[in-house]
Amino acid sequence: MPRYLMAFSLLERQGQSFVSSSQLAQQVHLNSPQIRKDLSYFGAFGTRGVGYPVAPTGEQIREILKLDIRQKAALVGAGRLGTAIASYPGFRVFGFDLAAIFDNSASKIGKKIAGIPVESITRIGSVKTRRIHLAILAVPIDAAQTCADSLIQAGIRGILNLSPCWLKVPKRVKVVSIDIAMELGALPYYL
Amino acid sequence: MPRYLMAFSLLERQGQSFVSSSQLAQQVHLNSPQIRKDLSYFGAFGTRGVGYPVAPTGEQIREILKLDIRQKAALVGAGRLGTAIASYPGFRVFGFDLAAIFDNSASKIGKKIAGIPVESITRIGSVKTRRIHLAILAVPIDAAQTCADSLIQAGIRGILNLSPCWLKVPKRVKVVSIDIAMELGALPYYL
DNA sequence: CACTGTGAATTCCTTCACAGCG
DNA sequence: CGCTGTGAAGGAATTCACAGTG
């Protein structure tokens, strides 16, 4: 669904008012029955003979993904990767709001990254009262589990983990992991 | 398979000489029959009653993934994300060798990142004679397709794309795409 | 005896074809 | 008439169960 939302957002900006499943298929590189199945799974958005109304369908997908309400996220780790992510404009499209940055290095605390002040990692518990439910973990691998534990203690519900390790978390917490090296590791096989 | 390689590499460093499918299962968070199926698909590595010999199996997976020979990779885009990736130690585990960095900004050309000099993007064609077959694309979205085209022209066979767009490439070129925002976009749904 | 390798059963996901509606 | 929504067919990937082996 995030991929569809991306496509609908683009079409919105381009001012197109309707889109058919086969048009969409070209854009997201899937086939049209797949798209119809996926969208119909969450309800019927389209009008037969015409296609999907771009703006309303985009809005509905946002509601489904809970992206209609602005989602606050905390970034943990203001190293090179963390800094890159903090400055990434792609989050805006999905309505994310980077609400806090934490790091343990004294030289970084107090400085601003992408307009947001870096706080000490000891203040990580404050996400609870600040109503931040999502975290992006961009710390060295040895620190990942410890940071995750603190975040969960502080009531975090979802973690995007950028370390190449599996986080041990309770079932109620959802983790998505990205390891750039592992994705690259699959490439040589196909040459 | 890259995930298994990661696990075997870790076990190698820890000095364990044999591992059973169920032990592995815990580590990579899959079930044991799955692991046996996956490994047996490429041949029989294990000894019944004992498990898989860590070092030899690791080496075999490296061969399968063509990671036994050092793979050269070029980084295109020395922005914040590119810089972060260049300094990422995770590539070493898979035997990748960052052999060149390209950027179009005059202020960066000539400087060194992670010990590698930044070259002008106009020199991108040199990857052909330098026998670089892989590229990591960390450029702004508008530049992604153009850069990909130049890379393919220069004989690149695999691209790791970090822009939130679909690259149009000939069939012989393999593309792996990562969009951090899209992964994060799925999280709120699960809360 | 413990653990691998693998056919068979199951489940899941995708593709197809078309009925139904604007 | 065009395109969605969907049951039914087909295919792929997981899971199971157990025979086979060091």
Instruction: Give the nearest nucleotide to B46, CA to C1'.
Output: C4
As ranges, strand C nucleotides with an atom below 7 A of a protein CB are: 1-7, 14-17, 20-22
Distance A146 CA to C11 C1' (A): 37
Angle at B136 between CA A94 and CA A175, to 5 degrees: 40
Helix ranges (DSSP H) in B17-167: 21-28, 32-41, 54-64, 80-86, 90-93, 141-153
Query: Which residue's C-alpha is at the least distance from the C1' of D1?
Result: A49
Nearest CA in chain B to A89: B181
**For residue B93, what pLDDT is reported?**
81
CA distance A71 to chain B (A): 8
Handedness of CA B36, B94, B140, B156 (dihedral sign): negative
pLDDT beneath 70: ranges in chain B: none
CA distance A98 to chain B (A): 12
**For residue A181, what pLDDT is reported?**
87
**For residue A107, what pLDDT is reported?**
96
Q: Tokens 């992991």: give the residue.
A: A177
Our measurement of the distance from residue A171's CA atom to the centroid of its chain's CA atoms, rounded to an integer in Å, reads 19
The Cβ of residue B24 has, within 10 Å, a number of other Cβ atoms equal to 22
Cβ <8 Å between A64 and B158 = no
pLDDT beneath 70: ranges in chain A: none
Cβ <8 Å between B184 and A66 = no
Look over chain A and give the mean of its residue pLDDT values, rounded to a whole number.
94
Distance B38 CA to D15 C1' (A): 13
**For residue A30, what pLDDT is reported?**
94
Cβ <8 Å between B191 and A93 = no
The Cα-based distances of B32 to A88, A180, B23, B48, B137 in angstroms read 39, 25, 8, 14, 36
Chain A residues inside the 8 Å CB shell of B160: 180, 183-184, 187
**For residue B14, what pLDDT is reported?**
94
Question: Could you say which of A158, A178, A187 has the minimum Cβ distance to residue B134?
Answer: A187
**For residue A44, what pLDDT is reported?**
82
How many CB pairs lie under 8 A apart between chains A and B? 153
Give the whole-number percent of chain B exceeding pLDDT 90.
Answer: 89
Chain A residues inside the 8 Å CB shell of B62: none
**pLDDT tens per residue across span A108-131:** 999 999 999 999 999 999 999 999
**For residue A43, what pLDDT is reported?**
86
Our measurement of the distance from residue A68's CA atom to the centroid of its chain's CA atoms, rounded to an integer in Å, reads 14
